Amino acid sequence: MTDIPDMKTTFSQYRQNAHNWITLATGEFYPDILVDACLLYTPVLEMFGRLVRTSESSERLFMQIADVRESWMRIQLSRVFKRYVSPGTPVEMLKKKSQAAHICHSYKNDFRPIHEVQAAFSSRPIPDEPLCALLWEYKDRGKKGYDLTERFFELFRSRFPHLLLVGPERAGRDVLLGDVFVEYPNPKRPVDFIIYSEDKADILAVGLARYDSDRGGAQEDDRTGGYRDCAREIITYAQQHNLPTKVILLNDGPGLLLGSMWHDYAAIEEAWQGRVMITTLRMVPERISAVWLYSREV
């Protein structure tokens, strides 16, 4: 494998002054958020209280929550349920209405008894400020990632107006590679953006974008391991079909500075020299070039 032209830097070379190459998202101050948090979540706590009072068991409480039609309210009630009744049950499972009966069957032995839930809930005021603050943490989950993708789209299009960049700029359905490549071996593989050549004859790059506010331990291993597998899958397909397609992993945020994250990402890039690029938003003007995107020297 030969080096691809114009990829003059590597992700690992930025490590010495890494803090200068990441973008910090703005946040909100505590306790300033409490007024809005209490306004937003007081109806949730009031409804949870009504369901607790009318449920003869914790399983019945969960099934009543699962029957709530309005999606946003059902999800918030599930989060309160997790706090009061079943801290070990993943919220993602609690949110799946279709699996409510299965979840009750599998986890009911770990549910706190309903009379203890009632006593604990009754001991707290309405609004319960600490709980409202915890729920508020979920409100903008994903927003930093959406902001990152939107800013990348703006930056990329300003630098390469002749290229076609496709994908959800904020929230939206991921691009599935089965809809992009012919007979792709993992058609349900989701990605965040696709870069096409000017005439749309070539798929120049496939991209994933993530903002890491905080990450470490098993989460860190899961993220980089998933990226490694994804890159290997895409590049292997591209090589088998003689495609110029490369992989761009756009990552940003202070989580990159934690643990071995930077080193692990650098190792992914080095494993596929010239075909995979790890970049933060600030690195884009310096690292991504038309020469690199179009190159077929692999």
Mean pLDDT of 188-196: 96
Domain boundaries, the chain: 11-25+142-294, 34-139
Burial of 130 (0-12, 13-18, 19+ CB in 10 A): exposed
Interior CA angle at 236 toward 13 and 209, to 5°? 50
Burial of 155 (0-12, 13-18, 19+ CB in 10 A): middle
Q: What is the largest CA-CA distance in the chain?
A: 69
Q: How far, in Å, CA of 257 to CA of 215, rounded? A: 9
Model confidence at 147, pLDDT cuts 50, 70, 90, reads: confident
Instruction: Classify domain 11-25+142-294 at the CATH topology level.
Output: ECO RI Endonuclease; Chain A (3.40.580)
Cα dist. 207→33, 61, 85, 112, 168 in Å? 35, 43, 40, 44, 12
Q: Which is it for strands 175-176 and 190-191: parallel, antiparallel or unpaired? A: antiparallel
Q: In this predicted structure, what is the pLDDT of residue 106?
A: 81
DSSP tag of 110? G
Pick 105 or 298 by higher pLDDT: 105
Q: In this predicted structure, what is the pLDDT of residue 262?
A: 93
What pTM value is reported for the model? 0.74
Q: Which is it for strands 203-211 and 246-252: parallel, antiparallel or unpaired? A: parallel
Mean pLDDT of 231-256: 94
Q: How far, in Å, CA of 272 to CA of 267, rounded? A: 9
